[in-house]
């Protein structure tokens, strides 16, 4: 048992602490270098210590950190422009994390219900989903392991199996009058890299149009270039009414955003929501630089090209009898084994490769989007070693 004064909320914490990083590499105190194939869980998309990010951090820190939303924040207005542009959305609300972004989306859905005079609103979410750890977002997450111990839950949510239209039809039949929104991750991240099909997304879009419900996409993990498009749903012709973003938005500084389009705009009026830190000049300046840098350095194309290359290479080169599936999109990749494999992260550490395990038996790769083909090759070589390490 650790004697640390930090509450032990993270299981399986690795016995290593990093001193500094550069690009896709991290160094520990002893000077060992590790190939980072997790990027702080899809956060450091531009890699570690990207010069453009560092430059903005230094420059903005010397100017202004925080004023509160009592005053107009020019950098927040600028970020809203940039982010809604790449996202194909119209308005942004800024907060400090993914859970808070989803919390905002759920509050938006409640206001939409009020407008439609629905007093006991229901949001359909997916089994196996992950939307955060606050009370509303853990209630939205159709995953027992996240909810256990925190009952009673916020009772807005009913859960259906992703890509199962029949189950969805039954749920709709039972709750029709109270449904206000459908919320999902285009690719379930913590759920083990499980993608919604284009057919299913088209179907939920049609249902939302037909019944005047909000379609909410949680693109916190899939967004900002991760899957080889700015946002994962842009691989399809389906557009959400509300979309949440966080993780990679400021490459490691805490920020989240809830974006709205069309009928979801202007639901939050004055006094309806807010955050002390949300959208402050410092994080917004850094997020602006992240988006600009992604554009300038063609990071989204790189994620698609190196992602396709890596997925292909894993499929052909990574030969191990325990592997049952290799799947993903861009640089969001899952390697499923035929049995639980939580012990592999420690073996990864021994081989100087960082990744994590989701859904108990899926190796999840979320490398920085700046990785090269050589680094992708190195990921495959090291994974091979990890799988054969006793």
Ligand X SMILES: *Cc1c(COP(=O)(O)O)cnc(C)c1O
Catalytic residue annotation: 130, 218, 247
CA distances from 384 to 35, 168, 319 (A): 14, 40, 8
From the list 91-99, 160-168, 282-290, 341-349, the region that binds ligand X by CB under 6 A is 91-99
From the list 97-105, 148-156, 162-170, 368-376, the region that binds ligand X by CB under 6 A is 97-105
From the list 11-19, 218-226, 260-268, 352-360, the region that binds ligand X by CB under 6 A is 218-226
CA distances from 65 to 110, 278, 281, 302 (A): 33, 12, 6, 32
Of these, 130, 213, 231, 268, which contacts ligand X (CB under 6 A)? 130
CB of 142 to ligand X, least distance (A): 12
Nearer to ligand X, 172 or 331 (CB): 331
Nearer to ligand X, 99 or 344 (CB): 99
Nearer to ligand X, 185 or 336 (CB): 185
Partnered with residue 333 across adjacent β-strands are 328, 365
Would you list the DSSP string of 264-322? GTT-S-TTS---SSTT-HHHHHHHHHHHHHHHHTTHHHHHHHHHHHHHHHHHHH---TT
Nearer to ligand X, 131 or 235 (CB): 131
Nearer to ligand X, 217 or 268 (CB): 217
Of these, 37, 84, 97, 234, which contacts ligand X (CB under 6 A)? 97
Radius of gyration of the chain (CA): 21
List the structure tokens of 158.
Answer: 């009913």
Inter-residue contact 97 to 131 (CB < 8 Å): no
Of these, 37, 125, 221, 345, which contacts ligand X (CB under 6 A)? 221
What phi, psi does 172 have (nearest 5°)? -65, -40
CB of 247 to ligand X, least distance (A): 6
From the list 1-9, 83-91, 128-136, 298-306, the region that binds ligand X by CB under 6 A is 128-136
Contacts of residue 9, defined as CB under 8 A and 6 or more positions apart, other chains included, come to: none
Strand, helix or coil at 74? helix
CB of 253 to ligand X, least distance (A): 12
Residue 99 sits in the site that holds ligand X (CB under 6 A): yes
Residue nearest ligand X, Cβ-based: 98
The kind and range of the H/E element at 67 are none
CB of 368 to ligand X, least distance (A): 16
From the list 17, 249, 243, the residue with the least C-alpha distance to 131 is 243
Contacts of residue 41, defined as CB under 8 A and 6 or more positions apart, other chains included, come to: 221, 247, 356, 366
# residues contacting ligand X (CB under 6 A): 14
Q: Strand locations in 147-213, DSSP E?
A: 157-160, 179-184, 187-188, 194-195
Nearer to ligand X, 190 or 375 (CB): 190
Which residues in 131-190 contact ligand X (CB under 6 A)?
131-132, 185, 189
Residue 330 sits in the site that holds ligand X (CB under 6 A): no
Instruction: Give me the count of residues in the chain.
Output: 390
Of these, 218, 241, 336, 375, which contacts ligand X (CB under 6 A)? 218
Of these, 171, 246, 303, 363, which contacts ligand X (CB under 6 A)? 246
From the list 47-55, 127-135, 170-178, 324-332, the region that binds ligand X by CB under 6 A is 127-135
Sheet with strand 242-245: strands edge to edge: 91-95, 256-260, 242-245, 214-218, 179-184, 122-126, 157-160
Separation of alpha carbons 346 and 350, rounded Å: 7
The kind and range of the H/E element at 66 are none
From the list 6-14, 93-101, 164-172, 291-299, the region that binds ligand X by CB under 6 A is 93-101
CB of 99 to ligand X, least distance (A): 3
Nearer to ligand X, 50 or 131 (CB): 131
CB of 232 to ligand X, least distance (A): 11
Residues in contact with ligand X by the rule CB under 6 A: 97-99, 102, 130-132, 185, 189, 218, 220-221, 246-247
């Amino acid at each position: 048992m650790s004697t640390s004064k930090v509450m032990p909320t993270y299981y399986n914490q690795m016995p290593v602490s990093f001193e500094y990083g550069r690009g896709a590499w991290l160094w520990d105190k002893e000077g060992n270098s590790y190939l980072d194939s997790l990027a702080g869980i899809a956060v450091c998309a531009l890699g570690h210590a990207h010069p453009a990010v560092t430059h903005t951090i230094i420059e903005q820190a010397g100017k202004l950190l925080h004023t509160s939303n009592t005053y107009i924040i020019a950098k927040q207005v600028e970020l809203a422009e940039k982010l809604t542009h790449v996202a194909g959305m119209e308005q942004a609300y800024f907060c400090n994390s993914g859970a808070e972004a989803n919390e905002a989306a759920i509050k938006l859905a409640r206001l939409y219900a009020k407008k439609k005079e629905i007093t006991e609103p229901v949001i359909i979410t997916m089994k196996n989903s992950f939307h955060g750890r606050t009370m509303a977002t853990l209630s939205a997450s159709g995953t027992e392991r996240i909810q256990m111990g925190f009952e009673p839950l916020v009772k807005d949510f009913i859960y259906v199996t992703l890509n199962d239209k029949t189950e969805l039809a039954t749920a709709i039949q039972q709750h029709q009058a109270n449904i206000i929104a459908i919320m999902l991750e285009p690719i379930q991240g913590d759920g083990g890299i499980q993608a919604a099909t284009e057919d299913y997304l088209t179907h939920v879009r049609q249902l939302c149009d037909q019944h005047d419900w909000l379609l909410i996409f949680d693109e916190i993990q899939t967004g900002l270039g991760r899957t080889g498009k700015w946002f994962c749903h842009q691989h399809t012709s389906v557009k959400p009414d509300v979309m949440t973003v966080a993780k990679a938005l400021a490459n490691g500084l805490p920020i989240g955003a809830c974006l709205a389009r069309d009928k979801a705009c202007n639901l939050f009026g004055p006094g309806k929501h807010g955050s002390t830190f949300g959208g402050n000049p410092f994080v917004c300046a850094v997020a602006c630089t992240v988006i600009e840098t992604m554009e300038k350095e063609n990071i989204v194309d790189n994620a698609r090209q190196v992602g396709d290359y890596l997925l292909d290479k894993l499929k052909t080169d990574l030969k191990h009898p325990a592997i049952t599936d290799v799947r993903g999109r861009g640089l969001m990749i899952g390697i499923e084994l035929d049995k639980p494999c939580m012990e592999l992260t420690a073996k990864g550490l021994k081989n100087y490769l960082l990744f994590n395990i989701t859904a108990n038996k899926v190796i999840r790769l979320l490398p920085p989007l700046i990785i090269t083909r050589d680094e992708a090759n190195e990921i495959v070589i090291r994974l091979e070693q990890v799988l054969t390490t006793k």
